[in-house]
Structures are given as structure tokens and as C-alpha cells.
């Protein structure tokens, strides 16, 4: 998004001594899946954090709105976790209902004893 690839970002932050790396805003959870996979490939031992928007924004009636439902966001978050993210949350357009859906998904996963 800022002219730097996820690979370049990850390698640069590892070299700078970061303890965690990740991506936030600008994209919905679905778009974060390949970004996280690329970060994981570039920095296999590094913890990854993601704070995605509730979908890509749509400009409507003079303002940006986020249309991704909590269930859809949670479904994509499961794929983000499989790609390698260990901390997952929300950014623009995320509501308490979105966070509840994420928490429910990860509680169920934890109870089942595995990754989403």
C-alpha cells in the first residue's frame, strides 16, 4: 500500500530488531491472507499481527462505509491465522459485533485444540 512489498517490509523490520511485524488498515481481512503468507515466508520465526478493516471501504452518500459482516470477517480471519498471523483484530469499520465474532471463532478453535 505504501510502495513497499510485504517481503521488503518484513525483512527490513527483522533487520531493525522488531519483536513483531504485521499489517493494518487499508484492506479487509480477505486481502490480508496473501499479505500474511508473504510476511511469513520472509520472516518465518517472527510473530505476525493483523488489524484489518471490516472489508474494503465503499464511498456512499458522502462517507466511507464498511460492509463486511462480522461472520464474513471471522471466516476470513480463520484463513489469516492459517497463513501465520498470531494476533488478529480489526481496524476501520470494525464494530463490537466483529470483535465478538472473532473472539467466538478463536475460542471455539482453542477449545478444539487447534488452529482455525
- Give the chain's count of helices (H) and strands (E): 4, 5
Non-local (6+) Cβ contacts of 41 within 8 A are 7
Model pLDDT, residue 109: 75
CA angle, residues 87, 91, 94, in degrees to nearest 5:
105
pTM metric for this prediction: 0.87
Model pLDDT, residue 108: 86
pLDDT digits (tens, 9 = 90+) for 17-60: 999 999 998 899 999 999 999 999 999 999 999 999 999 999 99
Helix axes 6-16, 29-42, angle to 10 degrees: 50
Amino acid at each position: 500500500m505504501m510502495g513497499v512489498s510485504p517481503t521488503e517490509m518484513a525483512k527490513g523490520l527483522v533487520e531493525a530488531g522488531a519483536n513483531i511485524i504485521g499489517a493494518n488498515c487499508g484492506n479487509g481481512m480477505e486481502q490480508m491472507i496473501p499479505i500474511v503468507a508473504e510476511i511469513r515466508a520472509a520472516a518465518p520465526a517472527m510473530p505476525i499481527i493483523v488489524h484489518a478493516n471490516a472489508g474494503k471501504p465503499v464511498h456512499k452518500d458522502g462517507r466511507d462505509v464498511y460492509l463486511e459482516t462480522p461472520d464474513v470477517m471471522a471466516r476470513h480471519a480463520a484463513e489469516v491465522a492459517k497463513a501465520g498471523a498470531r494476533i488478529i483484530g480489526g481496524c476501520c469499520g470494525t464494530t463490537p459485533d466483529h470483535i465478538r465474532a472473532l473472539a467466538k471463532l478463536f475460542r471455539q478453535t482453542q477449545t478444539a485444540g487447534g488452529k482455525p
